[in-house]
Chain A
Amino acid sequence: MDLFDKLKELREEGLEEIKKATDEKRLNEVRVQLVGKKGELTSILHSMKEVAPENRREVGQRVNELRDLFNAQLDETKKNIVSALIQKKLEDERVDVTLPGRKSSVGAKHPIYVILDDLEELFIAMGYQVVQGPEVETDHYVFEMMNLPKDHPARDMQATFYVDGENLLRSQTSGDQARVLEKHDFSKGPLKMVGPGKVYRRDDDDATHSHQFMQMEGLVIDKHVTMGDLKGTLELIAKHMFGQDRQTRLRPSYFPFTEPSVEMDVSCFNCDGKGCPICKYTGWIEILGAGMVHPNVLENAGVDSSVYGGFAFGVGLDRLAILKYGVDDIRDFYTNDVRFLKQFRKEEN
């Protein structure tokens, strides 16, 4: 057999061997056997001296061609083997994407704070300072300064927890108004504040009463603040809370610390004013009380009521939350049942 035949034979056998190799180890053996330093092609080159000199060039060329062919086939096969391996590994790693994920807990704001934070943001954007006052307040700030002297009949409307003769758990946040009014320097600009916080009343707890609840007070005082400004501001609150398409109405009302005094109703968002149990078939739902600050309140705080005036409003946050979320028992806000609270994870805040 001459070298050419040998090469021909090697070519067929080599390609067959490469084809048969199914893992990397075997393929490496084949590579060493065919194109390694001591491999078959090398040995053919070594036997070149047996070739006629005129043929040596051609044999050399053939050997190189065959080496290139083997190398290409070896590389190709290796690629296929590796890729098959990866493929298998990936297949083994397959997850069932429909199985449930692993969860830790998801937090939530308390619904009353959802409402409060939302309102605070609204007012901060309009230039209001958020002010906090003490909950154990003096009779002086909660009542006397707010034009509710001792024996005022309106004090009956708010049964109060006293801790001693002069100090009490505030029954309204309006004490914050008095404190801020006393301190404010009007030469530095108008006074615009909201004062949120807890308040307490001697009511037995039931579905509609709570001895503790939250209010937010608002106060704007300057030289030119009108009832129209109050109306505009209250409408803003109502529409912000309950939607731009709500109707509102102001009703005359009475608070010792404002004159004129009004209450604001918003058209029932449940029945759109047609009448339903939520609005007690009136079509309207009361959401807050407000008015132009009573001159006595200003004067009590040392503010000249002939120069300065403005408006105040107070809104019950529990009530807003009850209305907004359709809660029918105020105690739900204070029993802290996680099945109730978890619902508010999805509420934007």
Chain B
Amino acid sequence: MLVSYNWLKDFLDLDIDPKDLGEKITRTGVEIASVEHPQDGLKKLVVGHVLDCEDIEGTHLHLTHVNVGEEEALQIVCGAPNVAAGQLVIVALPGARVAGNHKIKKGKIRGIESLGMICGLQEIGFPDSVVPKEFADGIYVFPEDAEVKPGDDVYEALGMDDYILDFDITPNRADTLSMEGAAYEVAAIVDQKPKIEEVVLKEDGNAWTDGFEAKIDEKLAPKFYLRKLSNVKVSSSPLWMQRRLWNAGIRPINNVVDVTNYVMLLTGQPMHAYDARSFADNKLEVRLANDGEKLTLLNDKKVELDSHDIVITNGEKPVMMAGVMGGKNSEVEADTTDVILEAAIFDGTLVRKSALRHANRTEASSRFEKGVNWDNVEKAINMAALLLRNDASATIEAGLLKATDTKRPETEIEITGSYINKVLGTELSSDEIVKIFDQLNFKCASAGDKLTVTVPNRRWDISIQADLVEEVGRIYGYDNIKSTQPLLAETIGGYTEFESKIRRIKKFVEGQGMLETISYSLTSPEKAIRYTMNPKSVVEVEWPLNSSRSALRQNLITGLVDAASYNMARKEKQLNLFEQSRVYDHEGGSYNEREHLAALFAGETFDANWQHQGEAIDFYYVKGKLEELFLALGIDQDQVEYKAEVVSGMHPTRTAAIYINKEYLGLIGMIDRVVTLADKSLRGSELYVYELDLDVLSQYITKGMTAKPAPKFPSIERDLSLLVDKKISSRQIENVIKANGGKYLHDVKVIDVYEGSHIDNDAKSLAYKLVFLNEKDTLTDEVVTNSVDKITDALVEELEVKVR
């Protein structure tokens, strides 16, 4: 809500700098997003009287002479279609500054000297949305009631000398969506009593209510008041009202519509004015719409209504979408003479949903959805009637028709001063607290510590003790509350055990030179289960933003491959990326989340440089990184098994599933060439990845250990060179070696692998280094030789290995 500082002065004695006031309100009640002074940046804009105006032949231009209060009139060439002799207009004198910091200079137009410019409102900074339609495409012409004379500054007459405070309200403070509400709020802050006046209305027409039948569903409209005015003369509103409207961001339309808007700004009560001809049968009904009923709104939007929309009908067809916008068929027009005024309270939830469903939120609907003051309905409708009599010489027909009139009692809350102090951490006395409620204009009865506070209906946001604590806290001032730290019994902070393990893993992987990434959890249903060994039921969102973000991923690799594509398209080919995040599924009827770790490698193991060539990353490099991780986590590598597998999206002969203690842990391998070929930026790249289920891995991570002394005796190494069938895996050989190596076999390393022309097609040559160690005594050659013999015998026996 845009709140005029000048208008606020109707209610309060203000002599505070508007910007300082804005800061005060921000700290105490409602955030003031900005304080604007419309005339800022403008210069030398005065009222001019057009003395004469001639068309310049062959152009759309006019040659005018304008009295700007100087002895000599100015010759100005003006292109506006609506300029005419006799008008009072806005003149930018030579040297003036207009909107956009534009400078106006003397000049020649079509060879004719022009000493300044006659301005439209937009040219001096008015937004299009508030400029009255008649001046939308031309210059502004002051009305007779402007009380301006040539040479005057234009700012005051146009309300540009005002300061506009933008109340950026939170949904609970809709009470400040009116000048009176804002005045109460500011009054509490500056500690004044606001001058809120009652309306005294004398009806001067005939009784009209008896012949009028209003059938209202009380649940839809708990309050529904009507008044009738006759002899209305529709024209423009007085300038003072137009000023207030446009400074509040509302376009002046005509004196009837303007009054309804003005009263809404003043009281917060949305109003509507119908042409009384719409109710020819003297019938009005408030009901839910029938499915399929149609209505054309005032903004020409055609809506198809359904049974969730409240409508006002003339007994037959809808003439208004209640609380949202009137119908074209009941619009007040130039020839309207009789007007039905409506002030009502509608069901906020239904209004909100209607406005949303029909994408037609309005000033009125946003007020109904956030709440309005139930005690202002009568004042609003009477004020509107009064203003119409003044502005449109209307006759106020006798009788206020209260078709429904549900009362809302004021809220009474009991609270103690000590409770308020306990929550705020303050030491306010009872008197101080009572004083604060008085500033807020709440009735407050105190008996010792006990307070009974009566909250007026204009503050419908307050209903419980905590709400009162907030009122006291903010008016006392959050700046005045002392900063403390909670003085509580000691608690031990920390992560959960699982979370600590995840941190340990992340730290190590980062130390391996990996860049941490975060990708979106939502992806396409296909990608959600690509790179996934055992896809589960996918979680999909009901209304996705688009199909590529509609399903929750079951793997992290997909995000890393997307990142690789993004980077490679930008010529970043050396990639060491990882992500630690969750994956999601909907297996077995429940929503399940698991923590995963995934990494992607592309490019070279070491940067190539002047000294060395680069070495391409391959399966074994990545496996080594994984083995390092397991080592650092204290995982017994013998428990970990790699089995070649075919997984969607993964290279069919370069991928392994990883098992720990026979349980599926994750996978490692190369991204399938089918995937990389399909992506222009990935084409030709070899991307290696691994992904681990940390829920599984974490069970094998141990914490705490006992140290052993370093062995005092040296180890003995023996090399073993074997010729084996190609089908036999290194793992099988290692298993046999380990099973037969005896208790001093300390380590087995693969030192050479050869397949090729020097040996049989079906064979491969493997060489191992066996390390023997006795930690307690010197190891003899004899013992080692025995062990090696046993190993070779077993290898020959079990795997038909040839020892070379």
Residues of A at the B interface (CB closer than 8 Å) are 99-100, 102-110, 112-113, 120, 123-132, 134-136, 151, 153-154, 156-157, 161-164, 167, 169, 189-190, 192, 198, 200, 202, 204, 211-212, 220, 222, 224-229, 231-233, 235-236, 249-254, 259-263, 292, 294-295, 309-310, 333-339, 341-342
Contact = CB atoms under 8 A, between A and B. Distances in A.
Given A336-B566, A337-B567, A260 B470 contact: yes
A127 B539 contact: no
13 contacts: A103-B607, A110-B518, A126-B485, A127-B493, A131-B496, A163-B542, A192-B488, A198-B582, A211-B549, A251-B27, A292-B423, A334-B518, A335-B566
B576 A105 contact: yes
Task: Give 6 closest A-B pairs by Cβ, nearest first.
Answer: A226-B425, A228-B425, A260-B470, A254-B170, A105-B513, A336-B563
B381 to A, nearest CB: 26
B60 to A, nearest CB: 41
B467 A259 contact: yes
A227 B485 CA distance: 10
Interface stretch (B258-266, B444-452, B476-484, B698-706): B476-484
B509 A107 contact: yes
Interface string B14-31: 000000000000111111
B31 A251 contact: yes
A109 B510 contact: yes
B575 interface: yes
Contact of A228 (B481, B518, B591): B481
Contact of B473 (A102, A227, A233): A227
Interface in B582-617: 582, 584, 586, 591, 593, 605-607, 609-612
Interface centre among B482, B515, B541, B605 (most CB of A within 10 A): B515
A278 to B, nearest CB: 16
B516 A156 contact: no
A192 B669 CA distance: 43
A228 B352 contact: no
A229 B467 contact: no
Contacts of A292: 423, 466, 469
Interface stretch (B119-127, B288-296, B519-527): B519-527
Interface in B604-641: 605-607, 609-612
A226 B516 contact: no
B464 interface: yes
B414 interface: no
Contact of A106 (B467, B493, B513, B572): B513
B605 A104 contact: yes
A334 B577 contact: no
Given A107-B516, A167-B591, A211-B545, A226 B424 contact: yes
A104 B606 contact: yes
Contacts of A198: 521, 581-582
Contact of B541 (A157, A163, A226, A236): A163
B117 to A, nearest CB: 30
Contacts of A190: 486, 488-489, 491
A169 B510 CA distance: 29
Contacts of A189: 488-491
Contact of A135 (B356, B482, B593): B593
Prevailing SS type, chain A contact patch: mixed
Contacts of B515: 105, 107-108, 338, 341-342
Contacts of B27: 249-251
Contacts of B486: 190, 192, 220, 222, 225, 229, 233, 310
B539 A136 contact: yes
A100 B352 contact: no
Interface string B350-367: 001000100000000000
Contacts of B540: 163
Contact of B516 (A113, A225, A254, A334): A113
Contacts of B577: 336, 338
Nearest to B608: A102
A202 B545 contact: yes
A254 to B, nearest CB: 3
B176 to A, nearest CB: 11
Nearest to A262: B478
A226 B486 CA distance: 8
Given A102-B606, A229-B485, 8 more contacts: A104-B607, A135-B521, A153-B171, A161-B522, A189-B488, A192-B491, A263-B31, A337-B570
B541 A334 contact: no
Contacts of A156: 352, 356
A163 B423 contact: no
B593 A336 contact: no
B492 A127 contact: yes
B414 to A, nearest CB: 13
Contact of B425 (A102, A227, A336): A227
Contacts of A112: 518
Interface centre among B26, B482, B484, B489 (most CB of A within 10 A): B484
A227 B493 contact: no
A194 to B, nearest CB: 9
Contacts of B426: 228
Contacts of A228: 424-426, 481-484
Nearest to B560: A336
Nearest to B563: A336
B473 A260 contact: yes
A113 B370 CA distance: 38
B512 A135 contact: no
B487 interface: yes
Contact of B520 (A135, A252, A334, A342): A334
Contacts of B514: 105, 107
Interface in B365-391: 369-370
Contacts of A192: 486, 488, 491, 493
Given A163-B539, A228-B483, A250-B27, A126 B516 contact: no
A123 B487 CA distance: 15
A132 B496 contact: yes
B584 A136 contact: yes
A100 B514 CA distance: 22
Contacts of A226: 422-425, 484
Nearest to B517: A336
A117 B25 CA distance: 36
B172 interface: yes
Contacts of A294: 466
Nearest to A198: B521
B307 interface: no
B12 interface: no
B801 to A, nearest CB: 37
B597 to A, nearest CB: 14
Nearest to A296: B464
A309 B423 contact: yes
Interface in B78-130: none
Contacts of B425: 226-229
B211 interface: no
B474 interface: yes
Nearest to A192: B491
Contacts of B610: 99-100
Given A102-B606, A211-B545, A233-B486, A336 B519 contact: yes
Interface centre among A103, A132, A225, A226 (most CB of B within 10 A): A226
Contacts of B423: 226-227, 292, 309
Contacts of A233: 485-486
A106 B173 CA distance: 52
Contact of A124 (B173, B465, B493): B493
Contacts of A135: 521, 582, 584, 593
Interface string B551-576: 01000000100110011001010111
Nearest to A131: B496
A126 B470 CA distance: 27
Interface in B164-190: 170-173
Contact of A169 (B28, B478, B541): B541
Nearest to B509: A107
Contacts of A261: 170, 470
